[in-house]
Amino acid sequence: MEQAGGDLVVRQEPAPAPLTRHLRVRQERGHTVLEFRGEIDLAAATEIAPHLDRETSRRSARVVIDLSRIEFFDCSGLRLLYRARSRVLDRDGRLLLVCAHPLTLRVLRITGLSRLLPPQPTLDAALEQPEAASGPV
């Protein structure tokens, strides 16, 4: 906020532009939030992968993958999650997952990924997790 000739001027930062049709990235409470959107299939994963790799390449990265806005999620999305987890843990970072969609949660359970990367129902719930929440190596 600024004072301009007796008037109060409020400046709002523009919302971050989507990096791709299927990905938005923002900072929240010291974490980089990668919000996947729409249908996460092979085409979407190909768009998302370079951005995901960039965000998971930093040492001690604190990353949240938010699946709350997805409509479809196949094995290409699972590969993205496994890759992100591996890259973050190899660099002493932290990876959290947000997911409440019943079908996606089922896929995470069936594949065992939910044990390695326990999904949280909301972004707030994920960000409140203790540091060890990225799961065992």
User: Do 11 and 2 form a contact (C-beta atoms < 8 A)?
Assistant: yes
The most distant pair of C-alpha atoms in the chain lies apart, rounded to whole Å, by: 62
What pLDDT does residue 129 have? Answer: 87
Neighbouring CB atoms inside 10 A of 129's CB total 15
Q: pLDDT 10s digit of each residue in the chain, 137 long?
A: 444 455 555 544 444 555 789 999 999 999 999 999 999 999 999 999 999 999 999 999 999 999 999 999 999 999 999 999 999 999 999 999 999 999 999 999 999 999 999 999 999 999 998 875 444 44
Overall pTM > 0.75: yes
What pLDDT does residue 115 have? Answer: 97
In whole angstroms, give the CA distance from residue 46 to residue 37.
14
In whole angstroms, give the CA distance from residue 39 to residue 61.
26
What pLDDT does residue 131 have? Answer: 73
User: Do 97 and 126 form a contact (C-beta atoms < 8 A)?
Assistant: yes
Query: Which residues lie across from 26 on neighbouring strands?
Result: 33
Residue 98: φ, ψ to 5°: -115, 125
